[in-house]
Amino acid sequence: MQITINQENRTSIITLQGELDACSSIPFDNAFSTVLNNQPERICVDCGQLEYISSAGLGVIVSYLQELQNRSIPLVLFSPQGLDRYIHVSPNRETALRYAGAQTEVA
């Protein structure tokens, strides 16, 4: 796992490359903590070169959600390379139900 942190204006961009699993979730957690200590206005996580993410990797992200909300820091994951095939996010209930119904009809 390779982790790179860049700044663009007041946005911290964490770029992940390789596999984010139980072993690499610790360095990712440390990197995320470092980013938060620098008090960014926004955090983006670039998943474009991420080949795999385990529940431990997702757990790192989830563990920071409350703190990010408390500090009004938006978090955006982009280029998830397949994660969006497994987890669908809808903007509202109506869209979610329509999506879920379409998936049921296909199955």
Mean pLDDT computed over every residue of the chain: 88
pLDDT tier for residue 82 given thresholds of 50, 70 and 90? low
pTM as predicted: 0.80
Greatest mean pLDDT range, 54-58, 64-68, 90-94, 103-107: 64-68
pLDDT at 107 over 80: no
- What residue ranges do the domains of the chain occupy? 2-106
Contact indicator for 64, 30 with CB cutoff of 8 Å: no
Report domain 2-106's class. alpha beta
- The answer to whether 29 and 60 are in contact (CB under 8 A) is yes
In what helix (H) or strand (E) does residue 73 lie, and over which residues does it extend? none
> Angle 72-90-76 (CA atoms, 0-180°, nearest 5)?
35
| Type of residue at 50 | L
11-20 vs 2-8, strand pairing mode:
antiparallel
